[in-house]
A = this chain, B = another copy of it.
Amino acid sequence: MCAASHTYQFPRPAIAVDCVVFGYSPEGLHVLLLKRGVEPFAGKWVLPGGFLHQGESGDEALKRLLLEKAGIQKIWAEQLYTFTNPARDPREQIISIAYFALVKSMDIEPVAGRDTVEAQWKLVQSRIALGFDHAEILQTALDRLAAKLRWQPVGFELLPPKFTLSELQHLYETILRKSIDKRNFRKKILAMNLLDACDEQVTAGSGRPAQLYRFNAKKYKELSRQGFHFEL
């Protein structure tokens, strides 16, 4: 008996992997978008993505695609949701396993690829119209990011390794869309003992120089195993 005799022998939808890549700067939260050079949606902005190859896991495909499309190598990413609406691609049914990713720096040079004429970081708040169902995917990612930020130390993935408390607070305020009391924020985050003060200070133009901190991932893992859970 053939080993594959019980698998599904009818036409199969194609499988895409798309990724919402977030980047942060003092201006606000950004998404990496590509301008399509080919139909459908030629000239429209879309999320970076591509097809899942056979023998590849979703995570592997994601890694390959981010490297191909944006030259991004090391990155925090996790699966977001799988979009299966048969009408989401006008050509034929293509299901999309969507991921979302956080980069520490927007310095990466997004390179336009084969089907892409341009790549740019766009402010989330600019609400650019997107091709396919990518607006829905982006919204799902935004909701997830805000929820995740509250319960898991993912904010640090959007900042350089060393950052000031003001930068961190501003990031939280931006993503959670609310202002936070400076003293309470500092008290709470420092009380967790997950930030190590560096031997450095940084001065940002004017004003008193700020202490730089570094997130201690090791300590976080240790505490997590002991039942601690992050909350902000």
Chain A residues at the B interface, C-beta cutoff of 8 Å: 1, 3-4, 6-8, 10-16, 38-39, 51-59, 79, 81-82, 84-86, 89-95, 97, 115
- In the complex, what's the smallest C-beta–C-beta distance from A14 to chain B, in angstroms? 4
| Residue contact A12 to B14, C-beta cutoff 8 Å | yes
| CB-based closest 3 A-B pairs | A58-B84, A8-B51, A8-B14
Q: How many copies does the complex hold?
A: 2
Taking CB atoms, residues of chain B closer than 8 Å to A85 are 57
| Residue contact A82 to B55, C-beta cutoff 8 Å | no
Taking CB atoms, residues of chain B closer than 8 Å to A95 are 15, 52, 58, 97
Q: Which residue of B lies closest to A88 (CB)?
A: B57
Cα(A97)–Cα(B95), bound, Å: 10
Q: Which one, B38, B52, B86, contacts A13 given CB within 8 A?
A: B52
Taking CB atoms, residues of chain B closer than 8 Å to A86 are 54-57
